[in-house]
Amino acid sequence: MTLPPSPVETPKDMARRLLGRALGFRDCPPEMLDELVQGSQLRHLGKGEFALRRADRHLHAGMVVRGQLESSMLRADGGRHLLGLLPPGGFFGLVGAVEDHLHTHDISAREDCDYLAIPAPLLRDLRRREVCFVLACERQLAERVRLLFDRLAVDSSVPLEARVASMLLMLGNLYGSAEQGHVVIDVKLSQSDLADWLGLSRQRVNFALKQLADEGLISRQYAALTIIDPAGLRLRAAS
């Protein structure tokens, strides 16, 4: 007996599935999530293209459906300050659902990417009439504030290897998957990315990564990073 072919998941089906797993939104009624997806538009970006630019108005928020975006801003000296990475299911621009401010940073594609553009009027309408939507946005924003404080806690007075160890632990919590006691960081990160994340030179970051690898705490293969000894890395971050 020949089985019928499995249904192909459309990009909007994928967006709905990711939305149903997202922090805060997974606790919302299915019909509200359906409305959110149906009232939004799927957009495609090529590598290097922008979803939002600094000083743009909040015309829409977004959720990554395929690929990866980055949040960054250019410093006065022309250097990039990497603020965060957005994998599938990652949100950006939700502040526009609360306040109509200008964007404070750029959102750009690190590779070919699709995202769900959620119009600001729909966000504000849901905010007025759906308590669960308000709570979902609060959960998302509270998580970002927590991550911000984690980053601020690792200031320039902390030894270099401890700063890099703290950053790797944070990346492991955000993007890592556990494999046989190790934590594989599932996003591609170059030395330039790590340097721009911490505001350091590539040479200093490379030196710190080599030290941590020599101590048996991490391993590196091209842009892939694995935390070999999570407990040891936590001790190094606290040193």
Domain ranges for the chain, please list them: 11-153, 160-237
Query: Domain 11-153 is classified in which CATH homologous superfamily?
Result: Jelly Rolls (2.60.120.10)
Would you place residue 64 in the very low, low, confident or very high pLDDT band (cuts 50, 70, 90)? very high
* Sole residue written with tokens 């019909």: 31
Task: Name the CATH topology of 160-237.
Answer: Arc Repressor Mutant, subunit A (1.10.10)
- The strand order across the sheet containing 113-119 reads 41-45, 113-119, 60-66, 91-92
Model-level pTM?
A: 0.85
pLDDT tens digits along 2-60: 655 556 788 899 999 999 999 999 999 999 999 999 999 999 999 999 999 988 888 89
Chain mean position to CA 148: 12
